[in-house]
Amino acid sequence: MDETKQKLLTKATLLESLPPARPAELHATSIAKTISGKHVLATTIGRGQAAITLAETQPEVNVSLWFHDQYQQQLLVRALQELPTQLRLYCEADPPPSSHGGQYDLAILPFFKSGEAEFTRDVLQSAFQSLAIGGHLVSAIDNPNDKWLRSQLAATGETVRVRPDSSEKPTTVCYILQKTRPSRKVRDFTSKVVFRDGERLLTAITRPGVFAHRRIDPAARHLLNAVDLASGAHVLEIGCGSGCVSLGLAARDPSIDVYAIDSSARAVSCLQQSAAENELFNITASLEAQGAVPDPGCYDLVLANPPYYSDFRIAEMFVESARAALAPGGTLLLVTKQPVWYLEQLPGTWNDVAHELVKGYHLIEAVRP
């Protein structure tokens, strides 16, 4: 088999091992393939199909696929096992540097119409800033009647070209703009949330895309109010989000050791900045999607506010991670608005399961055997 046929076969195999591309990502890919650029930045609303297509069909192109969540990145890695040599994966709070250390020639940004508006603005701005002068930005959305995304792109001051969906029943629209000058103004989307725990005022730094951006979540407040810790306790927070719980507990006693994990690169980055802002040196924040922690079996307390979606698959992972992390006799404390699954599952494998309703939130406590 000659080299060209082998490459085509490899491309087909890679893409066939993934779910079908979302329409907006497919549309953005078809437009991006017509634009030249050696260094490409891509995001994804699926499994990176746009980035993979470019890396496989244009071997001279270097593609950086930027994930915001490590869990999504790991889904792609597990599905493909082997990546195209021109494709690099990153899970970072901000756009990664290009392969040559400079700016990008092309950015590909597909979006859902149901996406968080402020996060979309932030991603658009940061990707536009990462473009070299003369570089192109291609963005598509799953709304053929879109006006909002177009207005955000027009706010760059550049000319926005429209590429409608040409299918019989349009579902998307795609836009192209070329960067002709540096950004006229750059908005800082970072927010500082000041909250009180006991006698101390603390500051949590948050950004769009981080759970509980610009506020302290009521569930976090309930977790803080429910905890009294002994000196020297080892605490794990799974899914730390903006990190208010970890900050509050670490501030109570410098001998308490707090380890916080989240699959969101931005959440981890924000908590690291918050710990420095509050001069709390007993917090470690780590990017982790599978719940793995150093020194499993040594923690005294695990706290969590699991998400409610995914048919409790993520909740189950949180509980399994807590069991692995806790020392025998250690406590799991979680907060939820949907307690039934936990109250059905925990009593069979955990001791002393207790349940309390506080202002619409359910606090569930269980002890590791």
Q: In angstroms, what is the C-alpha Rg of the chain?
A: 23
State the pLDDT at residue 215: 94
pLDDT tier for residue 28 given thresholds of 50, 70 and 90: very high
Rounded mean pLDDT, 109-128? 97
Q: What are the phi and psi torsion angles at 246 (to 5°)?
A: -60, -40
pLDDT tier for residue 99 given thresholds of 50, 70 and 90: confident
Q: Which of 230, 287, 271, 239 lies closest to 70 in space, CA to CA? A: 287
Task: Say if 3-178 and 191-367 have the same CATH topology.
Answer: yes
State the pLDDT at residue 10: 44
CA distance 158 to 153: 8
Rounded mean pLDDT, 71-88? 92
State the pLDDT at residue 13: 57
Share of the chain above pLDDT 70, in %: 96
Structure tokens at 35: 């634009």
The three-class DSSP label of residue 330 is strand
Which residues lie below 8 Å from residue 12, measured CB to CB, with a gap of 6+? none
Instruction: For Cα atoms 306, 307, 309, give the angle at the middle one, nearest 5 degrees.
Output: 140
Q: Which residue has the higher pLDDT, 223 or 4?
A: 223
State the pLDDT at residue 312: 87
Q: Which residue has the higher pLDDT, 45 or 98?
A: 45
Rounded mean pLDDT, 101-114? 96
State the pLDDT at residue 9: 38
CA distance 331 to 328: 9
pLDDT tier for residue 17 given thresholds of 50, 70 and 90: confident
Task: Assign a CATH topology to domain 3-178.
Answer: Rossmann fold (3.40.50)
CA distance 325 to 239: 14
Rounded mean pLDDT, 38-46? 97
Rounded mean pLDDT, 33-38? 94
By the 8 A CB rule, do 273 and 205 touch?
yes
Residue 2 predicted with pLDDT over 50: no
State the pLDDT at residue 101: 84
Rounded mean pLDDT, 138-152? 98
pLDDT tier for residue 16 given thresholds of 50, 70 and 90: confident
Stated as kind and residue range, the H or E segment containing 193 is: strand 191-197
Q: What are the phi and psi torsion angles at 164 (to 5°)?
A: -65, 160
Structure tokens at 225: 């109010």
pLDDT digits (tens, 9 = 90+) for 322-347: 999 999 999 999 999 999 999 999 99
State the pLDDT at residue 185: 87
Task: Assign a CATH topology to domain 191-367.
Answer: Rossmann fold (3.40.50)
By the 8 A CB rule, do 263 and 238 touch?
no
pLDDT tier for residue 183 given thresholds of 50, 70 and 90: confident
Bridge-partner residues for 351, per DSSP? 367
Q: Between the CA of residue 9 and those of 13, 52, 57, 86, 272, what are the distances in Å?
A: 6, 14, 11, 17, 44
Bridge-partner residues for 302, per DSSP? 236, 332
pLDDT tier for residue 44 given thresholds of 50, 70 and 90: very high
Q: Where are the domains of the chain?
A: 3-178, 191-367
pTM of the full predicted structure? 0.93
State the pLDDT at residue 7: 43
Average pLDDT, the chain: 94
